[in-house]
A and B are shown apart, each in its own frame.
Chain A
Amino acid sequence: MQASQNKKNEQMLTSDGIPLKKKLSKSLFRSRLRAFGLVTPLLLLISIGFVFPILVFLTRGIYNDTFEKYMVNLTPVLAEWNGISEPTEEMFEALVLDLVWLKETKNIGKVASRMNREMSGSRSLFTSSARKAKKLEAPYKESLIKVKKKWGDLETWRAMKVTSHSLTPVFLASALDMKYTAEGSFIQKSEDRRIHVKLFIRTLEISLIVVIAGLILGYPVAFLLANLPIRISNLLLILVLLPFWTSLLVRTTAWIAMLQGQGVLNDLFVVFGIATDEDRFTLIYNKAGTLISMTHILLPFMILPIYSVMKTIPPSYVRAAKSMGATNWTAFWRIYFPQTIPGIGAGAILVFILAISFYITPALVGGQDGTMISNFIDYHMRKSLNWSLAAAMGGVLLVIILFLYWIYDRVVGIDNMKLG
């Protein structure tokens, strides 16, 4: 009130006669500029080295111009074709022209790979026809069908029509176990080929279990850390931090040594008669192995935020509650616990987001039923070389995470999160 009155009545001046407001905004601008200058290197690094490549790669999931780029003659002709009538001589001629050129420029394999993803078995159709394409004579329709009967199939041409669109939902559809047809509709793949949806669900399930297990195991530890005398709690804190500082790979490998059939844990079980020597527990190379090692690896991410929040809760609150007649449980549940929720929220979301994209640990100890979606993204990156499908799956995973984050924000509130 006072300040606004001052402003109205007389402008405040600094010692050198410049209005205070102007001077203040000038110096604020300068400090903002300095601050921005300081973060510029990081901003550049993140946008050039992180955001930009990810965006570029994600576009591969919906955009693949292999066919359009290399089948220059056929693509425009296919665009005019309705997908139902018999393929014309003009289409065959364009195809032969492209095959000859592709063979000469050594690009036939790229188109053949792309087509083979749409229609299994068409790789050799393209490569072997391209080898003979140069010698073919008009009418091309007859001579090409003579080389390979499949060229007469309408299905082959419909598959080519689907592939000829560069901007395409086929990879997104495939990431969700569906097939995009020439008519523009989506159909579900047959039962024995559905895998991705199951894996997305399993990934969410594993992440959720890891969060819950981490909470059950981590909360009491954090409580101890926050409430024990400083000398003992520091020692305990080191025990929490030591594995945290150890390499992820080392910790995973250590779990292999612990859990495997001839491992430490199973040996102990045999010694104590819980298992027999012939019939040991399978604790690794399955879901159990993934869950155990992931929970351990991510535990510090749960303990530390909860601990740092508990540290700030004054012990006098609980004492006050008890002095007013609350039982131990009531004092904890009604007074202490609600104050730790920001820490739980932070720990849970941290662990969940790390867990959902976990890769090395399930790859090493997951076996067949403990692998996660990231392992399949990796498979399509490195083994099948289907980068477009990998990008589409990555995109779906990103959308799922953002959606869960939005739900979290609506239910718990992102402001209600405290990392320390």
Chain B
Amino acid sequence: MKLFKLTFATVSALFVAFGANAESITVVSWGGAYTKSQVEAYHKPWSQKTGNQVVSEDYSGGLAEVKAQVESGNVTWDVVDVELSDALQGCDEGILEEIDHSTLPAAPDGSPATQDFLPGALQDCAVGNIVWSTLYAYDKTKFDTPPTTMADFFDIEKFPGKRGMRKLGKAMLEMALMGDGVPAAEVYDLLGTEEGVQRAFAKLDTIKDHVVWWEAGAQPPQLLADGEVSMTITWNGRIFNAIAQEKQPFGLVWDGQIYDLDLFVIPKGSKNKEAALDFIRFSTDTKRLADQASWIPYGPLRNSSIPLIGTFHSDPSIKMIDHMPTTEVALKNALQNDFEFWADNGEELNERFNAWLAN
């Protein structure tokens, strides 16, 4: 069995190695509606302009594959879409290429990229593209009075039904605290203490028997659509797509949302580094970032892109700006993911989360 897996891995690695040539780059992202928005807004126009091919691959986050490729010296990914904490950690570990910010295109009004991007979007090894949010969505057909707060998510009596949650400590622990009435601004201070962690787990305990755990981002809209859960933690873009495109009867609750950045990185030793850099420069210019926003409501990370945000690609009546994680309504009780907190405590908290899950 193991031998078979190893042989399989070797053979598939060979295929990938021979399959990639100079004119094609492999861009790795999170799949589903999100990857589709990138294919439409970045990949297709870039291919048209340069004649190069883009191979799109899906993954479910984390640095493991990048690390494995870099350490084995067989780098097959050229551009990877990662979360902020991974971009920083990967850069510190020396498994990502550094990116010179001065080569990024300036805004239409001439201001350099370093001033145009939002704070935190430009890192030594990464160029940001979007801000996205983790929040919860519910099935409108299941409730007469819709839930409105994070506390409602944890209220099984008032809002019966199963809950979908991500099988990871990150974001779930913060939400548990917010569901327990902790204001967003105090969450990380409290989570840094032993009693805060215990309080978060105690809150999770109250719904543990009603939770369906998911791992890939495409799962939660599916769980809702199948009727397996009545509410689920999800990413705002995915659920918006299910509502706008598939006309599903889902509602979103912005109270207690946690927003975070996604950035493009290049694994160290990429065989197509120049083409990958060109792709990143092209994709994160003002127009492309604004274009992507008409496919999925993830906020562009350039100030100059924001006025250009249009309507949903298949329905001009939907103004995309209203569905971004950065609107006034959405930010009322919102939390920005603290990458440093998770870089420091992620190991321990995930270990406890796993132990809690298994018990």
Contact = CB atoms under 8 A, between A and B. Distances in A.
Interface of A: 46, 49-50, 53-54, 105-110, 112-113, 116-117, 120-124, 127, 192-195, 198-199, 260-262, 285, 354, 357, 367-369, 371, 376, 379, 381-386
Nearest to B211: A368
Interface in B308-359: 340, 343-345, 347-348, 350-352, 354-359
Nearest to A358: B1
B352 A192 contact: yes
B94 A382 contact: no
A376 B354 contact: yes
Contacts of A260: 228
B89 A109 contact: yes
Given A49-B6, A116-B347, A106 B92 contact: yes
Given A195-B351, A368-B358, A385-B63, A49 B7 contact: yes
Nearest to B358: A195
B64 interface: yes
B340 A124 contact: yes
15 contacts: A49-B6, A49-B7, A106-B93, A112-B92, A121-B344, A122-B344, A123-B343, A194-B355, A198-B358, A261-B227, A354-B1, A357-B1, A376-B354, A385-B62, A386-B347
Contact of A195 (B62, B64, B92, B355): B355
Contacts of B347: 116-117, 120, 384, 386
A65 to B, nearest CB: 14
B190 interface: no
A122 B340 CA distance: 11
Interface string B1-45: 111001100100000000000000000000000000000000000
B358 A120 contact: no
Interface in B44-96: 62-65, 67, 89-94
B104 interface: no
B212 interface: yes
Top 6 closest pairs, chain A to chain B, by CB = A109-B92, A109-B93, A120-B348, A106-B94, A195-B355, A382-B64
Contacts of B356: 192
B30 to A, nearest CB: 15
Nearest to B208: A368
A65 B167 CA distance: 32
Contacts of B6: 49-50, 53
A396 B356 CA distance: 22
B190 to A, nearest CB: 16
A368 B94 contact: no
Contacts, number: 98
A385 B350 contact: no
A194 B358 CA distance: 10
A383 B92 contact: no
Most chain-B Cβ atoms within 10 A of its Cβ — which of A112, A260, A385? A385
Contact of A120 (B65, B213, B345): B345
B94 A107 contact: yes
A49 B345 contact: no
B226 interface: yes
A153 to B, nearest CB: 15
A376 to B, nearest CB: 7
Contacts of A199: 358
Nearest to A110: B93
A285 B165 CA distance: 13
Nearest to B226: A262
B344 A120 contact: yes
B196 to A, nearest CB: 14
Given A109-B94, A262-B227, 19 more contacts: A49-B3, A49-B6, A50-B3, A53-B6, A108-B92, A110-B93, A120-B347, A124-B344, A127-B92, A192-B352, A195-B354, A195-B355, A357-B1, A368-B358, A381-B64, A382-B65, A383-B62, A383-B64, A386-B347
B226 A368 contact: no
Contact of B228 (A117, A123, A262): A262
B343 A367 contact: no
Contact of A367 (B2, B91, B94, B213): B213
A111 to B, nearest CB: 9
Contacts of B344: 116, 120-124
A260 B299 CA distance: 36
A385 B228 contact: no
A290 to B, nearest CB: 13
A109 B268 CA distance: 15
A116 B226 CA distance: 41
A46 B7 CA distance: 10
Contacts of A46: 3
Contact of A261 (B2, B228, B358): B228
Given A109-B92, A123-B344, A124-B344, A371 B3 contact: no
Contacts of B228: 260-262
Contacts of B2: 50, 54, 357
A401 B22 CA distance: 47
A384 B2 CA distance: 22
B148 to A, nearest CB: 25
Contacts of B64: 381-383, 385
A116 B357 CA distance: 22
Contacts of A354: 1
Contact of B213 (A194, A368, A379): A368
Nearest to A103: B92
Nearest to B71: A387
B62 A368 contact: no
Contacts of A50: 2-3, 6
Nearest to B348: A120
A353 B338 CA distance: 44
A100 to B, nearest CB: 15
Contacts of A385: 62-64, 67
Contacts of A107: 93-94
A22 B1 CA distance: 44
Contacts of A54: 2
Nearest to B95: A109
Contacts of B212: 285, 367
B59 to A, nearest CB: 10
A354 B2 CA distance: 11
Contact of B94 (A110, A116, A123, A383): A110
B25 to A, nearest CB: 24
B351 A193 contact: yes
B194 to A, nearest CB: 11
B230 to A, nearest CB: 12
Contacts of B352: 192-193
Contacts of B351: 193, 195
B345 A369 contact: no
Interface in B219-252: 226-228
Contacts of B93: 106-107, 109-110, 113
A381 B92 CA distance: 20
B163 to A, nearest CB: 13
B280 to A, nearest CB: 20
Contact of B10 (A49, A262, A357): A49
Contacts of A49: 3, 6-7, 10
